[in-house]
Amino acid sequence: MELHYTNLLIVVAVGFGAPLALGFLPRLRIPSVVVELVAGIVVGPAVLGWVHVDPPVAVLSAIGLAILLFLAGLEIEFMKLRGEVLRLTGMGFAISFVIALGVGLAFHAAGTVRSPLFLAIVLCSTSLGVLVPVLKDANEIGSKFGQLVIAAGSIADFGAVILLSLFFSRESKSTTTQVLLLGGLVVVSILVGLGVKGVEHSRRVRDVLQRLQDTTAQIRVRGAFLLLIGLVALATNLGLEVILGAFIAGAILTLIDRDQMMTHPEFRTKLEAVGFGVFIPIFFVTSGVKYDLNALSGASTLARIPLFLLALVAVRGLPALVYRGALSGSKVLIAGIMQSTSLPFIVAATAIGRDIGVITPANQAALIAAGLVSVLVFPALGLALLKRESSKPAAQSPTVMPTTKEALP
């Protein structure tokens, strides 16, 4: 079969143009992913009909999804997931999932959704990749507030991916079988991680890696992609989801490559350049191309968008109340707003749900639309509130709480 690249050309052009256009409008604080999705809808069959998903686009989009989850796994800061941070955020996720189940059951009772559990899992995630730049802009990345938000997002992402793989896989297996397969994947992943860590203890291997890492070999980048594709292949062969293998690969790399000696400080930057510079934009634009805009034509479907948005706030925002003993009241409110931001996981999870028939096209479209609104509104609102909070005179700041610039133990 002869391959054609016209569709891929348009998708790549959209992926290039989205951040470039935003670069000319620095005051317009819209995440590039939003513009990529919307532009994909415009050039896709729903509006202009310029682009259709053919094999080149489909393959690169699938790789983009895997790399997106891989980089999400890389963002987990395991060293900070301890002590009070782990206790509070772990409790927060447990509360979040209970609320999500309640919300799912309410929607199911109203005849709105097919699977209350699937909706609960979709609502449990937080877009950590969107929030990290916001926290950096507010100089809160190392503060108590920043650590809690990042830890909460990390646990939410990990928990959502695990739950989705356990209960909703394209391969029809019992939950017990899925648990056993997941356990097998985790065991193999740990063995791989220990093996890589053991090999890197060899001085000769370290010297070779250091010599090749900045040459055309880019040996560390190649090794990272070998780990990614290896665990993705293993996950799919076990009947698990691609996103699980990719996420675990990123988490393993985070654990085994801390680079405390700073011998390869540009390694993460290179991985992000490959991911965010090439493959991930293709995934988001393609998701827009496949977006069923016609599914939003009914008034009842449009009404679900604010309902799903409120559900996100309830599921991810309300559990921030567990931070009341560690943060001021205003910071608890801001944490709840920011944790309610979710989009990439919604896009990935609803695509899986659509394939296995647990979500309707209308609900998929409404959930993605709610996710778009969340990334448009909540990070910008959170940043504005953080800046207003930091501009308050010291005398007006709460005196019963420790300063937000102190890191948690």
Query: How far is Cα 382 from Cα 388, in angstroms, rounded to an integer?
Result: 10
Cβ neighbours, 10 Å, residue 99: 20
What mean pLDDT do residues 370-381 have?
Answer: 89
Q: Token pair 């090794």 is at which residue?
A: 223
Alpha-carbon separation of residue 90 from 3, 127, 132 (angstroms): 48, 17, 19
- What per-residue confidence (pLDDT) applies to 259? 64
Instruction: Report whether pLDDT(227) > 90.
Output: yes
Instruction: Report whether pLDDT(400) > 50.
Output: no
- What per-residue confidence (pLDDT) applies to 406? 41
pLDDT digits (tens, 9 = 90+) for 275-328: 999 999 999 999 899 888 888 877 888 999 999 999 999 999 999 999 998 888
pLDDT digits (tens, 9 = 90+) for 27-70: 887 888 888 989 999 999 989 999 999 999 999 999 998 998 89
Which comes out higher in pLDDT, residue 405 or 208? 208
Instruction: Report whether pLDDT(104) > 80.
Output: yes
Query: How far is Cα 222 from Cα 401, in angstroms, rounded to an integer?
Result: 47
- What per-residue confidence (pLDDT) applies to 136? 73
pLDDT digits (tens, 9 = 90+) for 127-162: 877 787 777 767 777 788 888 888 888 889 888 988
**Maximum pairwise Cα distance, the chain:** 72
**Per-residue confidence band for 376, with pLDDT thresholds at 50, 70 and 90:** confident
